[in-house]
């Protein structure tokens, strides 16, 4: 069974930094694209970004709202995904989920998701 466990969330002041981690088990992690998705309290889902696998040169894509401030990386030897968040703003407050990508039918779908980790940006 695939399991994804996020960690590293917490409270931080505006302008600060935080690094989230996502540990994967039950899956050949290195084969898969991985996504980060967030959900502000009481709001809908917002895609944050994606990192491709080694076969696709670990390239990344980001939402405009985080581009230049957030960086997605991975360590396949540790089955781990990371989200480095810099210059945090109050509007970055959200539960952050990692999700595995599955390449089927011409694109990459995401399933399953981790349980999420809460990031609160407040002074």
Partner 1 sequence: DIQLTQSPSFLSASVGDRVTITCRASQGISSYLAWFQQKPGKAPKLLIYAASTLQSGVPSRFSGSGSGTEFTLTISSLQPEDFATYYCQHLNSYPLTFGGGTKVEI
Could you list the residues that contact partner 1 (CB under 8 A)? Answer: 35, 37, 44-47, 50, 61-64, 97, 104-116
DSSP letter string over the chain?
Answer: --EEEEE--EEE-TT--EEEEEEEESS-GGGS-EEEEEE-TTS-EEEEEEE--GGGTT-EEE-TTTBTTEEEEEEGGGTEEEEEE-S--GGG-EEEEEEEEEEETTEEEEEEE---EEEEE--
Nearer to partner 1, 16 or 53 (CB): 53
Smallest distance from partner 1 to CB 24, Å: 14
Q: How far is the CB of 62 from partner 1 (least distance, A)?
A: 8
Q: Which is nearer to partner 1, 18 or 101 (CB)?
A: 101
Q: For partner 1, which is the closer residue by CB, 9 or 112? A: 112
- Shortest separation between residue 108's beta carbon and partner 1, angstroms: 7
Shorter beta-carbon distance to partner 1: residue 62 or 82? 62
């Amino acid at each position: 069974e695939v399991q994804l466990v996020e960690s590293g969330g917490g409270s931080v002041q505006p302008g600060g930094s935080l690094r989230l981690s996502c540990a994967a088990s039950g899956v050949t992690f290195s084969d898969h694209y991985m996504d980060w998705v967030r959900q502000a309290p009481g709001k809908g889902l917002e895609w944050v970004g994606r990192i491709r696998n080694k076969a696709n040169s670990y390239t990344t894509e980001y939402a405009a709202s985080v581009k230049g401030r957030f960086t997605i990386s991975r360590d396949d030897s540790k089955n781990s995904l990371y989200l480095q968040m810099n210059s945090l703003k109050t509007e970055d407050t959200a539960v952050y989920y990692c999700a595995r990508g599955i390449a089927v039918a011409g694109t990459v779908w995401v399933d399953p998701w981790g349980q999420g980790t809460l990031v609160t940006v407040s002074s």
